[in-house]
Structure 1
């Protein structure tokens, strides 16, 4: 069984790319909190790369920004590609199948005063 569910924060703003004939994709990373260190009051995170295609990619681009908290469901996949130096690179990433929007980093309804 290949199934993964993660809750975390998006690490950079979503950039949508068209890859031909109206097909869209986005790649990003999800910071998933893993522990809280009591002695230093800091938490650690795992950084999980993810890819979303089609309507899921468009929804992420429309509704999410860096720092937003989301839940992603999908599966892990591996692939390889040749980089600009003609070297083979291997990637393990989450293929997003479902998205749940949980919390914006700075809610739009909050008015900040100085």
Structure 2
């Protein structure tokens, strides 16, 4: 059996960081993902998908993601339910993310504070925790020239 989802979209608002009573960080945000077609009126539609991250990934997302930033999320779909104050059963479908990639820097995203990881951050136990963060944070931005031509000889091309 397989439960895997990959989404690319924009945050609808800043992530909300909370902590469980045991002190575990959890962040929730909603990703607006465009549908690949237009409505009969010619308008683009989007799905608004709730995403949850845990532990170090949750803190990283809360620190660096902001409303409007283009983001990729990889994880699994989870359906949970609870009984509300009125005694009714409420079902919640959400994506539990174990990998989040920041697809644009805070300069490009419009809103957002300081400099954060440019590419991605992943979490999932073991040594995977911050490998991508430290690797990408130590390198210079490969797109620093902002679209200027790159001098590459024909001998460097693989085709």
TM-score range, shorter chain: 0.7 to 0.9
Matched with 1:106 is: 110
Matched with 1:21 is: 22
Matched with 1:79 is: 80
Q: How many residues matched? A: 109
CA-based RMSD? 2.3
Which structure is larger by alpha-carbon Rg, 1 or 2? 2
Alpha-carbon displacement from aligned partner over 1:68-88 (angstroms, at most 9, x marks no partner) = 110000011110012232321
More helix by share: 2
Deviation at 1:41, TM superposition (A): 6.1
Partner Cα separation in structure 2 for residue 3 and residue 28 of structure 1: 19
Deviation at 1:66, TM superposition (A): 1.0
3-12 or 31-40: bigger deviation = 31-40
Q: TM-score, normalised by structure 1?
A: 0.83
Partner Cα separation in structure 2 for residue 79 and residue 68 of structure 1: 27
Structure 1, unaligned runs of 5 or more: 110-114
Q: TM-score, normalised by structure 2?
A: 0.61
